[in-house]
Amino acid sequence: MSKCPYCGNEAGWLTSEHPHCKERHDQGWHIMVDAAARGAADGAETRHLQEELIRLARSTFHPIEHVRGAFIQGWERAVDKLLEDGILSKEEEQRLATFAENLSLSPSDVNGNGAYTRVQMSCTLREILSGTVPAWEGDSPIPFNLTKSETLVWVFPDTPYYEERLRRSYVGSYQSVNVRIMKGVYYRIGGFRGNPVETAQMEHLDTGTLGITTKNVYFSGTKRSFRVPYQKIVSFTPYQDSLAVTRDAANARPQIFKTGQGWFTYNLVANLARMN
């Protein structure tokens, strides 16, 4: 007879756990994460909150080590809640930062699902909207030759690059007539009658580093590398996970960069272009 992994007592015949113990365990986790999320959003005092979560963990069959995980997940949930209006205020940013620091949570701890990066994105947009251009703080080498008086604002690594291509096909039917010339010899008259139809398709051309500066959009891949000045772009088109730009040129094809953050990428380049 197996023992319940939650309470440690015998689970009974044909079962490996007590249903009420599992329910108590699961509900305890949700309560812990909710409490941590409210604390992170409100800037609650962390010492008392930590004591509360430890009590909850002990009473719902969670090891004390799970408390740290609940704080991390709660911090991530608080970020998503505060970002519902799009931009974090300075006060909200400071509350989140102080909460994480008091619990010794590093940026990498709270960025497992990209929450810390989303905070950085929001703060970058807030600074740009206020007229200030924040400089990129990454420490990895940048494969761009920036021009004078140009500031690198954001870098998207491993960005797939696409171009829109038009594919032409014909819709119609093949008709033919056989005309007998002599015994065993026929002259075949035929023709393809139909209309050309063009459809747009996305063609993946490369994957590389996308750089956004105060003057240009840069891309550097293994096959393609180029720079597009904002003054040469006639339109920005946002998608859920991508940004498309169209140059001011004859027969220009939309160039699509799949950053995974379409909303942020669009607002970033649109506002930087407006500053020019």
pTM of structure = 0.81
**2 in a domain, yes or no?**
no
**206 in a domain, yes or no?**
yes
Question: Are residues 26 and 125 both part of a single domain?
Answer: yes
**99 in a domain, yes or no?**
yes
CATH number of the structural domain spanning residue 225: 2.30.29.30
Question: Are residues 160 and 103 both part of a single domain?
Answer: no
Question: Are residues 161 and 263 both part of a single domain?
Answer: yes
Question: Are residues 39 and 117 both part of a single domain?
Answer: yes
Question: Are residues 161 and 103 both part of a single domain?
Answer: no
Mean pLDDT of 102-124: 96
Instruction: Please provide the DSSP assignment of the chain as one string.
Output: -PBPTTT-SB--TT-SS-HHHHHHHHHHHHHHHHHHHHHHHHT--HHHHHHHHHHHHHHTT--TTHHHHHHHHHHHHHHHHHGGGSS--HHHHHHHHHHHHHTT--TTGGGTTSHHHHHHHHHHHHHHHTT--PPP---S-----PPTT--EEEEEEEEEEEEEEEEEEEEEEEEEEEEEEETTEEEEEEEEEEEEEEEEEEEEEEEEEEEEESSEEEEEESS-EEEEEGGGEEEEEE-SS-EEEEESSTTPPPEEE--S-HHHHHHHHHHHHHH-
For the segment 34-77, what is each residue's pLDDT rounded down to a tens digit? 999 999 999 999 999 999 999 999 999 999 999 999 999 999 99
Residue 196: pLDDT band (50, 70, 90) is low
pLDDT at position 169, please?
Answer: 61
Q: Is the pLDDT of residue 176 over 60?
A: no
**147 in a domain, yes or no?**
no
Which structural domain, as residue segments, surrounds residue 238? Answer: 152-165+201-275
Tally the domains of the chain: 2
Percent of the chain with pLDDT over 90: 74
**37 in a domain, yes or no?**
yes
Listed range (157-161, 175-179, 196-200, 225-229) with the worst mean pLDDT: 175-179
